[in-house]
Structure 1
């Protein structure tokens, strides 16, 4: 076996194999000294990416058509990912798989929460921390966030319950076409049979052998139509569509386990649920002005949802590295709601110009200073520097974080610190 690519997923694979008493070869183009030390401690041997292997476990970030992988495949290797390895190693572990262009992380966490409140030892993993292989030995049920990258290499995966939150446009730099991107996403249901359940948005037509159960943001209900909770009772950071999908998925998994979903238990669990940090999260207030961190919002569908949910007037922080998101729907969603765009980072000003909205460019030395200036400019754009009145300073940046920050979480934390500093300054 060859572990190709370390990172979070690859280290999870290496750690799991070592605990199972399996020694593997490994390859990474730029391993850190820490990675090398871990591999040595776990008994894995560094190797060149050539030769004959039965199985290659490739990291999600490695393109499926990478020359090394193609050569290894030509030599007889099967190319799989962490998720396929987990399913084969623990075939009796029920899994709920969740994918989608937006909302998959929040829905994953919410399903795990509903299952735990229903008395099931559920643990989340996969594309969301931690790696799936870190939880398979402790979980009664694994709830797995699945990216399109992971779903490119899940041969034979059969999920008793799968969820598609939505299908939009993303990762064209990797998949090249929308059709290829959607095809990767739809691998989540490729191995399902008639006794399995696929939870999908109302109106999404696709081919599947599984039983389709459709959800919409209009009603959070069980499969028989019994309403569990009104959307008004959810935490503002939890999207009703995610809650509706989570309820149907939880009910389906409980049925798979031979249990019955209790609407009262699910309702109370939804009331107590909180959004994932950094996903449409109110991180500070200055008077009635809310500072909302949605740093992960780099997809058109996610940014549009943030614009529609935030309380106007909105000072919208836009920037980072442009990844080719569709901007026309965002310009339309901003009309009458966004007072000013605050443009920051590598492509912020270019994105703002394409949106055709009034904007203020900000700069600074380093990510934290840039974000502090952007947050302050947002507050000033609302005309609320004294902390009186309403509105939202919204970080829904469209661009990726890699121009100024190591990832979207670091960008969100920087925004949080800036917002809390402003709140302290004005005594809010």
Structure 2
């Protein structure tokens, strides 16, 4: 990349700010465009000396944020003037070509699998850092890592021309983001870009039975055992820590082995077994955040994909008071109706599309309405507790996105956590 030619950063936010910091540190001139920059965005661009961009200018490279649709009219205009549109992952790969990267995608489990791979690599003695769709942005870690483990969303994978990964992981393929991709085929096509640039000698880890076009060596995993490619058992499933999903562990194990072999690093079964035993679940992924008597409150705010919500329903201890709401993004409810049968005693609907989602599920429901997100979640948690017979699970696996009432899924999860802890406090107070 020629430092004398300006790069256009299209879309700021978390990813775009990472791009801005990285380019400024490399001495690369950059302009920026964002339809709704936050005060933090504008302060950062001013501090870094970035110039507001202009669609009438000619740019060789545009780094677009994941939230910007690939067919956005402005990106079409820039491409028509000769610009190449890429994302932060390709920028990292081009600017740091010797940095090994593992890419992880999937409809569910990609964040947890990303974190687990990085953990296993660190246990094996490598300075592995995670980034990308998961915090922090990838470009914030590339100069501090020996290996980068990158969570890749379908949005990011729309803009990865020429990306070649020595190891790629597909955790699963379900249905998601139809509000953006419009069809399941288009969504899956974006996901499969993770292997489009792979060649013979590279490795693709994916679920057994999933057939995808690739030139890479395929390493299938199953959630019934934790084995290396040669069949050596690393750890019995019974010894996995609570909260670590077997499928994520099986995929992470094979990906870690593949990267170690790619680097010529020894693969030691006992070291990997110790890494699995010491693994910690990612906060906010099916996490028990409180207990009131024999009722547990489980936060899975990130569960907005059908496959992830289904997994939460299957793992939660019945009877379940299921908190459903937010903004619907086209979820397939049929599998959820089946998963809920005999397990869910009541749906607690909240937020913009909660009542419609509850109606589509066809289960007994209660709708709560609050003054704001925090108040709504307090009412929902209380209604969930009241709906149970003194035991079971209040489960936040909301189906809808958080953007109707919260900044993001983490803020929604934090609100649920506060609400659950408030109920613990209220039920343990000693009367005066």
Partners in 2 of 1:372 and 1:308 — Cα distance? Answer: 25
Q: How does 1:289-304 map to 2 (within 5 A)?
A: 289-304=295-310
Displacement after TM superposition at 1:373 (Å):
1.1
Q: How does 1:45-194 map to 2 (within 5 A)?
A: 45-194=51-200
Shift of 1:123: 0.1
Answer whether contact 1:189 1:198 (CA < 8 A) is retained: yes
Q: Cα deviations across residues 186-242 of structure 1 (Å, max 9, x unaligned)? A: 010011111110000010001101000001111111111112122222233221100
Name the counterpart of 1:20: 26
Cα shift at 1:33: 3.0
Query: Counterpart of 2:253?
Result: 247
Moved segments of 4+, more than 3 Å: none
Q: Secondary structure at the match of 1:115?
A: helix
Q: How far does residue 44 in structure 1 lie from its aligned partner after superposition?
A: 1.3
Shift of 1:54: 0.8
Whole-Å separation in 2 of the counterparts to 1:131 and 1:410: 18
The match for 1:329 is 335
Secondary structure of residue in 1 paired with 2:45: helix
CA contact (8 A) 1:61 1:149 kept: yes
- 1:405 matched to which residue of 2? 406
Q: Deviation string for 1:60-103 (max 9, x for gaps)? A: 11111111111111111111110000000000000000000111
SS in 2 for 1:392: strand
RMSD: 1.1
Deviates more, 1:232-241 or 1:104-113: 232-241
1:306 to 302, 305, 312: 312
Greater shift, 294-303 or 175-184, is seen at 175-184
Structure 1 match to 2:205:
199
Query: 1:319, 1:345 within 8 Å by CA — same for their partners in 2?
Result: yes
In structure 2, the partner of 1:387 is none
CA contact (8 A) 1:343 1:362 kept: yes
Cα distance in structure 2, aligned partners of 1:269 and 1:68:
46
Where does structure 1 lack aligned partners over 5 or more consecutive residues?
A: 385-389
TM superposition shift of 1:55: 0.5
**1:223 corresponds to 2:229:** yes
Quick check: 1:259 aligned with 2:265? yes
Tell me, in whole angstroms, the C-alpha distance in 1 between the residues paired with 2:259 and 2:253.
10
Shift of 1:260: 2.0
Return the offset for 1:285.
Answer: 1.1
1:108 positional shift = 0.3
Residues 131-157 of structure 1 show CA distances to partners (whole Å, capped at 9, x for unaligned) of: 100000010000000011111111111
Query: How far did residue 45 of structure 1 move?
Result: 0.8
8 Å contact from structure 1 (residues 50, 68) kept in 2:
no
Instruction: Provide the C-alpha distance between the structure 1 equivalents of 2:327 and 2:210, rounded to a whole number of angstroms.
Output: 31
Tell me how far apart the structure 2 counterparts of residues 36 and 287 of structure 1 sit (CA, whole Å).
48
CA distance in 2, matches of 1:288, 1:274: 24
Q: Give the length in aligned residue pairs.
A: 423
Q: Residues of 1 paired with 2:40 and 2:132: CA distance?
A: 22
Give distance in 1, aligned partners of 2:272 and 2:139.
28
2:36 & 2:351 partners in 1: Cα distance? Answer: 27
Alpha-carbon distance in 1 for matches of 2:294, 2:233: 33
Task: State the alpha-carbon separation in 2 of the partners of residues 70 and 288 from structure 1.
Answer: 56
Q: Which runs of 5+ in 2 are unaligned?
A: 1-6
Greater shift, 225-234 or 135-144, is seen at 225-234
C-alpha separation in 1, matches of 2:354 and 2:30: 44
Q: Which residue of 1 aligns with 2:281?
A: 275
Q: Partner of 2:392 in structure 1? A: 391
CA contact (8 A) 1:251 1:260 kept: no
Matched with 1:426 is: 427
Task: State the shift of 1:37 in Å.
Answer: 2.4
Matched, 1:209 2:224: no
User: Given the two structures, how large is their TM-score scaled by the length of structure 2?
Assistant: 0.96
Match of 2:13 among 7, 11, 33: 7
Partner of 2:159: helix, strand, or coil? Answer: coil
